[in-house]
Amino acid sequence: MPKFLVTYHGGGAVPHDPAVMERIRAAFMQWAQKTGPALVDPGSPISARKTVTSKGVNDGAADGPFDGWSVVEAADMDEVAGILKDHPFVGRGGSLQINEPAS
């Protein structure tokens, strides 16, 4: 079965308040547990960024930055979309982009 890279976009900065961070983490863990083995790699939020271009290496994000990633295994993109429809990141106002591997 193919694996899909799911990238997280526009969820806003993660607050530094420990109680808020714990609620965000708990919501994700509940979703991840429900998702089961389809969530091949839960991924991670992104904090530091460095960009490599033909002009050199710079600190910071590339054009169209993303905030994190996960890897989901499913039959097709529609199945991945169904798995992601109740993801807590979407509930916080973010978007999830499903990236299909090139064949």
Q: What is the pLDDT of residues 18-60, one digit of tens each?
A: 998 899 899 999 999 999 999 999 988 776 677 777 777 888 7
Structure-model confidence comparison of residues 24 and 64, the more confident one: 24
| Helices vs strands, H then E, count in the chain | 3, 6
pLDDT band at 64 (very low <50, low <70, confident <90, very high): low
Looking at residue 103, its pLDDT comes to 66
Least Cα distance to 64 among 9, 3, 17 occurs for 9
Mean pLDDT confidence for 83-102? 87
Looking at residue 45, its pLDDT comes to 76
Tell me the one-letter amino acid at 54: S
Instruction: List the single range of 20-34, 55-69, 85-99 with lowest mean pLDDT.
Output: 55-69
Tell me the one-letter amino acid at 29: M
Q: Where in the chain are the domains?
A: 3-41+65-99
CATH architecture for the domain at 3-41+65-99: 2-Layer Sandwich (3.30)
| pTM score | 0.77
